[in-house]
Amino acid sequence: MTHMRTQIRAALVARLTGLSTTGTHVYASRLRPLTDSELPALLISSEGEEYDDGAYLKNNRPVIRPLRVRLDIFVKAVSGYEDTADAALADIETALFDTVAHNTLDGLVMSTTLASILDPEMDDSTDKPVVRLPVILRVNYS
Amino acid sequence: MPFDADDLAVFFDPDMPGYVDAVIDGVPVCALDRRKGYAEAFGLVSGSSPALLVKSSEQADRGSFVIIGAEVYTIVNVHSNGPGRVRLILESA
């Protein structure tokens, strides 16, 4: 049986593929470096789950499982890189929070919320500046 | 014996590995090509670390345009690189 974490990552890839800024450059659990032709890009990875109340346990499993999912927006450009990252973030917000169906990943999960947006990081050690904008989602599932 | 113009001339001789004819803001210069180094940002974004060695007497400032073959770069930093030489840190334009 495919674990829900795997299903959630797959559903997010499907939901976030084709956005106007990152297009088809959406990768789950990506470890290998991105090339210029794969940018701007959106990387998706699952993080931990923390249960804050044992009373919610049912059959030794929590009823509500809050999964943290990390989205990393990568942009490499001569200029406007942070603006482009913000545009990619706006695309994501629209794609996930515009309707109930999208917010629940077509009924797969209970809800998807924006947990935090971390500090943008910039690096100019390659031939063009690179910015990474990390976005943390909280995905409640059962 | 001090490092002088003759030494520099040997250093930037066309027979030197990496020698390239470059143009900085429209002015031809002799340079040593150091563009090919692989580099990564955050360990997840690949690229190169373009750089060029030129005589420090060349007019090479931040913001100047450099043409090497068909490629155009902008100078984003200028580092001293020993007697009479500077290393130009480039960015793809």
pLDDT in tens, A77-99: 999 999 999 999 999 999 999 99
3-class secondary structure, A60: coil
Q: Report the pLDDT value the prediction gives residue A54, as an integer from 0 to 100.
A: 55
pLDDT score, position A56: 61
Amino acid at A126: T
What is the spatial distance between Cα B77 and Cα A106, in angstroms, rounded to a whole number?
50
Count of C-beta atoms within a 10 Å radius of residue A6: 13
Q: Across the interface, which of B40, B74, B93 has its CB nearest the CB of A126? A: B40
Is pLDDT above 60 for B75? yes
Looking at residue A128, what is its pLDDT? 93
In chain A, what residues touch B41 (CB-CB under 8 Å)? Answer: 76, 123, 125-126, 130, 132
Strands (E), B1-93: 19-24, 27-33, 38-41, 45-48, 51-55, 65-68, 71-80, 85-92
Residues B48-69, mean pLDDT to the nearest whole number: 90
**Can you list the residues of chain A whose pLDDT is less than 50?**
none
CA distance B69 to A116: 46
pTM of the model: 0.85
Q: In whole numbers, what is the pLDDT of chain B averaged over residues?
A: 87
Q: Backbone phi, then psi, for B5, in 5-degree steps?
A: -60, -35
Nearest Cα of chain A lies from the Cα of B60 at a distance, in angstroms, of: 18
Q: Do B45 and A126 touch (CB under 8 A)?
A: yes
Looking at residue B31, its pLDDT comes to 85
Which of A38, A73, A126 to mutate to probe the B interface, most B CBs <10 Å?
Answer: A126
Q: Please give the residue of chain B at the shortest CA–CA distance from A128.
A: B91
Give the model's pLDDT for residue B12: 84
Which pLDDT belongs to residue B15? 86
Lookup: tokens for B78: 């200028």
CB contact under 8 A, B45 and A43: no
Average pLDDT over residues B29-43: 84
pLDDT, greater one: A109 or B56: A109
Of B44, B48, B90, the CB nearest to A74: B44
**pLDDT value for A60:** 66
**Cβ contacts of A35 on chain B, cutoff 8 Å:** 46
How confident is the model at residue A57, as a pLDDT?
A: 63
Confidence of residue B32 (pLDDT cuts 50, 70, 90): confident
